[in-house]
Amino acid sequence: MPSILNSLKLIADPTRLRLLLLLAEEALSVAELQEIMGMGQSRISTQLAQLKKEGLVADLRSGKNNIYSCLAPPDLLDIATRAAEELPERTKDTSSLAHILRKRKDKARAYFDELAGKFGRQYVPGRSWKGLAEALLKILNYETVADLGAGEGTLAQLLAQRATKVIAVDHSPKMVEFGTKLAKEHKLPNLEYRLGDIEEIPIDDAFVDLAFFSQALHHAEHPPRALREAHRILKPGGTLVILDLHQHSFDKARELYADTWLGFPEAELARMLEQEKFTRIETAIVDREESPPHFQTLLAVARK
């Protein structure tokens, strides 16, 4: 039986309190706890070791992972639950946990994750992710599309080959000028470039069917505001697609690429989308670079 006094001392620490309550709801791996809490592996493992030593959690080996579960008695959990009402992170933890559990149930996603892991391991002439993406873009039909933070508009030009209208938005006058010139050269009259910020998008309410943030969201000063704007311009039932970097620690990206944010944790991006009233949210890590700093590409798809 765990010491009540020692247990109370342990859960007086906010991090250990959050861990205990998450594990009271679901058995989780360290990697899942990292994703939910946005903390490093060593910090979480250290706190779990203290909870385990006191007999409040247990771990079970499953493949390469240790799965942790809660052993705390109901009386202690009742106190912990009431104490957690004072933690600002509690709502975020609950939302992120729900996202993790949705991912577990997504068997189709798991299948395609496995498939993606095999794709490209063996060289096949002419086969690439870029080629596959371009092929898919050419067979899918769209009405009105917004490419938000479009840069020179490579994606916008691909989309314009199938969409009725594409609006490419960028805050750089030179990028807009360059993109407009390319659209004329490539005879894409349905592609329009607009000067504007992704946090104040120059597009009317409920105007587009599909909106893209392609490696743009991590440049926003306030990502939730950009997501709110994307929600505003989408028609009911419209789709938002985000391609961005998974959270990393390559701080030089701020200087080299003018990045404001060092990517986003998968669960945190899902939580932001949920807060901005998006539904049917799906996320996945769809690419991992082999060379340092080993950037990972995060994909999110959501509906209005």
Q: Report the side by side order of strands in the sheet with 28-29.
A: 28-29, 65-70, 57-62
CB atoms within 10 A of CB 54: 18
pLDDT at 129 over 70: no
Are 219 and 236 within 8 A, CB to CB? no
Are 169 and 208 within 8 A, CB to CB? no
Over residues 260-282, the mean pLDDT reads 93
Query: What gap in Å lies between CA 101 and CA 109, rounded to an integer?
Result: 13
Over residues 264-271, the mean pLDDT reads 92
Tell me the domains of the chain and their CATH numbers: 4-90 (1.10.10.10), 108-303 (3.40.50.150)
**pTM of the shown model:** 0.70
- Return the higher-pLDDT residue of 1 and 216: 216
Over residues 137-155, the mean pLDDT reads 85
Provide the residue count of the chain: 304
- Cα dihedral sign, 14-20-21-26: positive
How confident is the model at residue 299, as a pLDDT? 92
